[in-house]
Structure 1
Amino acid sequence: MAKAGYHHGNLKQALVEAALRLIETHGPTGFTLSEAAKTAGVTPAAVYRHFEGREDLIAEGARQGYTIFADLMEHAYANGQPSALAAFGAVGRAYLAFARKFPGHYMAMFESGISPNHDPAIAQASARAEAVLTRAAETLSRHIPAGRRPPAAMFSAHFWAMCHGVVELYARTPPGTRTQFTPDDLLESGIGIYLRGLGLIPTDA
């Protein structure tokens, strides 16, 4: 009979959710399988019905995170149309929103050391999210003369790095700890500076 903490009717998902809560509190390497089992309300032996070890459990949390992430990015991009510039900004805001709303998933994806190539399912979900950024970059960069146009993959990589940097440095600490500016303002102004440099939006008068 299952312990009181386990009531989902889905042992595998209960363990993933337990791991994600522990990741939020202790980081991706700050908990054991026994602690994940205890949090889910099952015995440690039950974990091995679905996962080979802690890395496999974290990888499933990362896979689910990438899937949610890709869904949010695609939704943001679609809602930002028909303006390529608006769609680009919407994708950036979705990145910050995901990191805030799903911190356990975010940490499993980006701070656990698990590569997107860990297994095909993670690679596929990660590629789908990256494809949104590449598509946004391609659409926006069509407004740049061909001779000055950066490769879309480089454009999207710059954008991803900017979003990720804002999250890591400024969205993971209490407001005002590192700067008086909000993460949203920092990202918006950073995007503006970058796009002005490419000639995609006019310089301030």
Structure 2
Amino acid sequence: MPKRGYHHGNLRQALVEAALELIEAKGPTGFTLSEAASRAGVTPAAVYRHFAGREDLITEAALQGYEMFGALMKHAYNGGGPSALAAFEATGRAYLAFARKHPGHYIAMFESGISINRTPELAAAALAARRVHEAAAEQLCQHIPAAQRPPAAMFSAHIWALSHGVVELFARGAPGAASPFAPEDLLESGIGIYLRGLGLIPQDQGRGA
């Protein structure tokens, strides 16, 4: 692959973009800093002006991913539709869309083994993204008396896990072709079944109602 040029001052971002391409192609542990430097068009020594090692580079990719992800989730929630259910389901669709559009970021965030507590900045960005989903969950159960409400953080985490499972099994890469249903349909029907089971929406309430 020919070396890419970079303008003075944006070498750090050029290295992140190179790492994202390598993460997508080889996985988070399948490349070296030298390979990232080569893709960015610099010597390996230049990398160390910005990153102490590969984990630092992946951490920056994850940080940028969480910032993008949080902004996308917030946009989906605010513009999701006329009801709390529609807004909540919109965040699920946003999760799938992010995983498809930004696979390198997604892998760095969720599959690299990098702890979200590795840096304060990463922890804050991850928390901000999670709180958008928890806010949507909280809104969804406002009609239930406070003493009877399931913890919003709990069922938000359950839906997050369901979203992640749909992504891993059916929305990314070759396994996605094995699903007889669209990933969006799998996720939305799963959300509906789960929420009806908790009594958060009526048994006969349809999608996006």
TM-score bin (small chain): over 0.9
Q: Secondary structure at the match of 2:89?
A: helix
Corresponding residue number in structure 2 for 1:186 = 186
Q: Are 2:55 and 1:51 aligned?
A: no
Corresponding residue number in structure 1 for 2:203 = 203
What stretches of structure 2 of length at least 5 have no aligned partner? none
Please report how far the alpha carbon of residue 203 of structure 1 lies from its aligned counterpart in structure 2 after TM superposition: 2.4
Mapped to 2, the partners of 1:28 and 1:203 lie a distance apart of: 43
**Deviations 1:103-133 (Å, cap 9, x if unpaired)?**
0000000011111111011111111101001
TM-score by length of 2: 0.91
Q: Are 2:19 and 1:7 aligned?
A: no
Q: Secondary structure at the match of 1:113?
A: coil
Report 1:50-199 matches (<5 A). 50-174=50-174, 177-199=177-199
The sequence identity of aligned pairs, in percent, is 70
What stretches of structure 1 of length at least 5 have no aligned partner? none
Q: Which runs of at least 4 in structure 1 moved beyond 6 Å after TM superposition? A: none
**Deviations 1:111-166 (Å, cap 9, x if unpaired)?**
11111111011111111101001101111011234444211110111111111111
Q: Secondary structure at the match of 1:116?
A: coil
Aligned residue pairs, count: 203
Report if the CA contact (8 A) 1:63-1:122 is conserved.
yes
* Structural RMSD (CA): 1.7
Mapped to 1, the partners of 2:18 and 2:3 lie a distance apart of: 14
Structure 1 stretch 119-128 or stretch 139-148: which is displaced more? 139-148
Mapped to 2, the partners of 1:4 and 1:186 lie a distance apart of: 42
Which structure carries more relative contact order (alpha carbon 8 Å, separation 6+)?
2
**Deviations 1:81-103 (Å, cap 9, x if unpaired)?**
54111110111110001001100
Report if the CA contact (8 A) 1:144-1:198 is conserved.
no
